[in-house]
Amino acid sequence: MSNVKKPQFDMRKFILTTLTAIIAVFYTAAQNNSTYHITGINIGQEHGLLKVSMTVNPKDYRLSYNQQLEVIPVLKAIESSDSIALPSFIVAGRNAYYNTERAENFDGALLRSGHGDAYSYSASTEWLPWMDHSRIELQGYSTGCCGVPNGPVDNDPIADLDWRPVTFKPTFHYDVPQAEERKDRRIEGKAYVNFPVNRTEIYPDYMVNPQELRKITNSIDTVRLNPDATVKSITLTGFASPEGPYLNNVRLAKGRTEAVKEYVKGQYTFPASVFHANSVPEDWEGLRDSVAVSILPDRAKILDFIDNGNVAIEIRNDELRRQFPVAYAYLLKNVYPSLRHTNYAIDYELRTFTDINEIRRVLKERPQNLSLNEFFLAANSYPVGSEEYDKVFETAVLYYPTSDIANLNAANSAMNEGDLRRARMLLERVKQSPSATYAIAVLDALEGKYDKAEEGFEAAKKGGISEAAEALAEIARVKATRNHVSFIN
């Protein structure tokens, strides 16, 4: 008999492949004029199993009375020594047929040469990785009178399998950010500086003032200590809450904002022209925001009242208290204190970089100082698709999280690194555009959704994305080469 290995069954692997393999693919050859008179060959993969079926017509065999032929379908790896023998069948002459039948030492199909109906052979075995590139052939072993071996019969190959995983090789489309004429930036924040009732003098050590004033100075220092930044203006806007006479609120808001401005100005040597102060006597906008997210029973009516511009500002708070006394008591205690605050904004300009070596240095030391265009220049100073190249785009999106371009390019880097989940998350942030359509199609293709990807590439092509034509050709290549069986006549 042949020395090929018999199939081995591993229940754990079988369960795993059965749970994960859900696609069935079958290939059929209507006729195959092989040495072994085989027709109707059917080869497929389903639920983690390789399945083979064929038709054997014993009338096509011409064996002597004492001769028998055992036929063994064998699956052999093309690139290794792995092989598996599937269950065999025997075709025997008259005497050999009855001898084998009486001996009961063969549990496969026993056919009589020249007699009987066609036999439908079928067998299956666990799909193993090496089978992705393999060949199915028939091996025969002949015996003569009294079971004397005649030896092997020529092997007859019937099919080559090339089911090696065919992966989509993407060509990414990176959007180029426009260079900024001026790199203007802003830091904004809110500080809750406390003042004694009805007073405008500032006391830096009063209540929580040390930490609240530090919010402002720390933000200014972030810019002041940045060697690539120049402070252009520092704007303070003070807000008062609506309770009390309106004209007094005007005085308090203006006076307190001036006090904060003078304190902050005294901490630095900036020109006086850098500092600006504004005031809002009553923060009705802040009150509205708080009411909108509250669970007050009269929330809708209070919002309508605030939005109604017919009530004069001088009496609006009194009217609110009159119409909604219960809600007003709650707002006065829980919301009004937060309406007394100082908003601050530091406007500054960052230096523009053109030398690639300097851009690389800033990327390592102070990446927040780079524009999106400078990030792009840094990335393109490395080989496209390299680890360094991808890392630049991943860093850029950290500093420009709302930029469509930053998210698109970072999604490309994530896909290049195989992190498809992160790529999907980044692309969900991006507004619809030809570039976004193309990137989503690339992701679909990498996930094996080829038909959906094809639609996306077609749309991106119409939108002017030049890489889409190449991507469509790549999809066609993948579809043409995956799960291919070549029958051998």
The confidence score (pLDDT) of residue 11 equals 31
The confidence score (pLDDT) of residue 484 equals 67
Q: Cα-Cα-Cα-Cα dihedral of 216, 222, 223, 226, to 10°?
A: 160
- The pLDDT tens digits for 385-416 are 999 999 999 999 999 999 999 999 999 999 99
- Tell me which of 30-34, 167-171, 440-444 is least confident: 30-34
The confidence score (pLDDT) of residue 171 equals 93
User: What DSSP assignment string belongs to 117-130?
Assistant: --EEEEEEEE--GG
The confidence score (pLDDT) of residue 1 equals 37
Cβ-contact 41, 137 below 8 angstroms: no
- CB burial of residue 326 (10 Å; 0-12, 13-18, 19+): exposed
Q: Compute the distance between CA of residue 226 and CA of residue 224 in angstroms, rounded to an integer.
A: 6
**pTM to 2 decimals?**
0.69
Q: Are strands 341-350 and 25-31 parallel, antiparallel or unpaired?
A: unpaired
Q: Compute the distance between CA of residue 67 and CA of residue 136 in angstroms, rounded to an integer.
A: 25
pLDDT band at 38 (very low <50, low <70, confident <90, very high): confident
**Higher confidence at residue 26 or residue 256?**
256
Instruction: Share the mean pLDDT of the chain.
Output: 89
- Tell me which of 37-41, 144-148, 230-234 is least confident: 144-148
The confidence score (pLDDT) of residue 155 equals 81
Reply yes or no on whether the pLDDT at 275 is more than 80: yes
pLDDT band at 383 (very low <50, low <70, confident <90, very high): very high
The confidence score (pLDDT) of residue 152 equals 75
Q: Compute the distance between CA of residue 37 and CA of residue 153 in angstroms, rounded to an integer.
A: 14
Cα angle 372-389-374, degrees, rounded to a multiple of 5: 20
The average pLDDT across 39-67 equals 89
The strands making up 183-191's β-sheet, listed across from edge to edge, are 183-191, 341-350, 229-239, 275-280
Neighbours of 383 (CB within 10 A): 9
Neighbours of 273 (CB within 10 A): 7
The phi, psi pair for 53, rounded to 5°, reads: -140, 155
Compute the 3-state secondary structure of the chain and give helix, strand, coil in percent, each to the nearest 5.
45, 25, 35
Cβ-contact 61, 134 below 8 angstroms: no
The phi, psi pair for 277, rounded to 5°, reads: -130, 135
